[in-house]
C-alpha cells in the first residue's frame, strides 16, 4: 500500500486577517470565562469552609477554609495572568500575519485579491468590535471583561488594527512581488 507524499509546506491562509479577528474575540471571552469561573469556585469553597467552622472541636472537623485558600486561593490568584496571556496571544498573532506577509511569495494577481480581502476585513471588523462592546456593557462574567484593559483596547479598535496589520502584511507581499528571482539559491 503506497502512501501519498504530503506537501510539507506550512500554510497560512489568505483569510488570516479574518482568523485574527475571530480568534482575538474568542480568546478574550475564553480567558475572561476561566477567570470568572475560578472566582466563583474560590468563593463557593470559602463559603463551604466558613460553614464548616461550626464543627470545630469534633472528631470529623477538617479546616476547609485553609484547604480552600491553599488550593483555590492560589489558583484564582495565578489565573489572573490570563489577562496578559490574551494580549500577548493577540499581539503575536498580528505580528505573525505581518511576518508571513514579508516571507511568502505569491502570484501578482493574488496581491490584489489580498488587498480586497483586507478591505473586506476592515468592513466586517466593526461588527465584531460592536458585538464585543455590547458584551462589555452588559457586565457579562461579573464585569471581568472590564479588567482586560489592553485586550479591550485592541478589540474596541479592531477596524484600525485590522487595517494596519493588513497594510503592513500587504507591503511585505508587494516587496516580494518586485523582488527579483534567485533568492532561493544560496551560493
Q: pLDDT tens digits, residue range 14-62?
A: 568 899 999 999 999 999 999 999 999 988 888 888 888 877 777 777 7
Grid cell in block for residue 143: 464585569
- Global pTM reads 0.80
Q: Which domain holds residue 72?
A: 18-52+63-178
> What is the number of structural domains in the chain?
1
Residue 46 belongs to some domain of the structure: yes
Residue 9 belongs to some domain of the structure: no
pLDDT tens-digit series, residues 90-138: 999 999 988 888 887 777 777 788 889 899 999 999 999 999 999 999 9
State the pLDDT confidence band at 186, using cuts at 50, 70 and 90. very low
H/E segment holding residue 10: none
Residue 10 belongs to some domain of the structure: no
Residue 85 belongs to some domain of the structure: yes
Q: Which of 60-64, 67-71, 167-171 has the lowest mean pLDDT?
A: 60-64
Best CA proximity match to 154, nearest among 128, 172, 135, 134: 128
Residue 57 belongs to some domain of the structure: no
Question: Cα dihedral angle (116, 122, 125, 130), rounded to 10 degrees?
Answer: -140
Residue 30 belongs to some domain of the structure: yes
Residue 44 belongs to some domain of the structure: yes
pLDDT of residue 2: 60
Residue 43 belongs to some domain of the structure: yes
Give the DSSP letter of residue 79.
Answer: H
Amino acid at each position: 500500500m503506497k502512501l501519498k507524499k504530503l506537501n510539507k509546506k506550512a500554510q497560512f491562509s489568505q483569510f488570516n486577517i479574518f482568523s485574527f479577528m475571530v480568534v482575538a474575540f474568542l480568546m478574550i471571552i475564553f480567558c475572561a470565562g476561566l477567570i470568572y469561573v475560578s472566582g466563583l469556585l474560590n468563593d463557593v469553597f470559602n463559603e463551604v469552609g466558613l460553614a464548616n467552622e461550626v464543627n470545630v472541636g469534633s472528631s470529623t472537623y477538617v479546616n476547609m477554609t485553609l484547604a480552600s485558600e491553599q488550593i483555590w486561593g492560589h489558583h484564582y490568584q495565578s489565573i489572573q495572568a490570563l489577562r496578559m496571556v490574551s494580549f500577548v496571544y493577540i499581539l503575536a498573532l498580528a505580528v505573525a500575519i505581518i511576518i508571513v506577509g514579508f516571507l511568502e511569495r505569491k502570484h501578482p494577481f493574488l496581491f490584489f485579491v489580498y488587498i480586497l480581502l483586507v478591505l473586506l476585513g476592515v468592513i466586517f471588523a466593526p461588527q465584531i468590535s460592536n458585538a464585543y462592546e455590547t458584551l462589555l456593557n452588559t457586565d457579562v462574567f461579573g464585569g471581568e471583561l472590564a479588567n482586560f484593559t489592553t485586550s479591550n483596547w485592541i478589540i474596541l479598535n479592531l477596524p484600525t488594527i485590522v487595517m494596519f496589520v493588513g497594510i503592513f502584511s500587504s507591503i511585505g507581499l508587494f516587496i516580494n512581488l518586485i523582488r527579483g528571482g534567485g533568492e532561493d539559491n544560496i551560493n
